[in-house]
Homo-oligomer: A and B are copies of this chain.
Amino acid sequence: MSITEVESSFEVASSLFLKAIVQQIRANDPYGTYRNWSDELLLKPYVVSKAQKREISVDGDVDPFTKGRVLAFYRAIAARVEEETGQLCQVVIDLSHEGFGWSLVFCGRLLVVCKTLRDAQRFGFDSLEKVALEGEKIVQSGVAAIQKFPDAAKG
């Protein structure tokens, strides 16, 4: 699938969550490597088809690039939760070399997002639309958690 096809299938600008990921990637680009890359190109590594996933070995280490991808995804979630609630969030990704671990987003004493990671080497989604949908779903459950436990979220 060419980049143009990805572009035509889903508009990055239509998703606050995709825009948040792009922002995270560009914010962590001190040498301007990605300056001339389109948003679609930056997000392309998040789209991993089932066939592609099968080809990625889960025996080895999680490479730094994949780790960065997972981190930017959850930082985007934290940024979106901050936007919606005005509460500062922290992100911690704890990944073993075998691709297992935790992704945590917290705010005060409250865990806004608490997910176990498995086979992180294969982290990715079927389509850009799926990235946007899944991400926004996690954001909304995080916002709901803050509304449910406002005192814990404050400290």
A contacts, CB < 8 Å to B: 90, 92-94, 102, 104, 106, 108-111, 114, 145, 149, 151-152
Least CB distance from A78 to B in Å reads 14
The oligomer's copy count stands at 2
Picked from B93, B102, B110, the residue with its CB within 8 Å of the CB of A111 is: B110
The residue in chain B whose Cβ has the minimal distance to the Cβ of A108 is B111
The residue in chain B whose Cβ has the minimal distance to the Cβ of A90 is B102
In the assembled complex, which residues on chain B have CB atoms less than 8 Å from the CB atom of A109? 110-111, 114, 145, 149, 152
Least CB distance from A111 to B in Å reads 5
Least CB distance from A118 to B in Å reads 15
CA A110 – CA B108 in complex, angstroms? Answer: 9
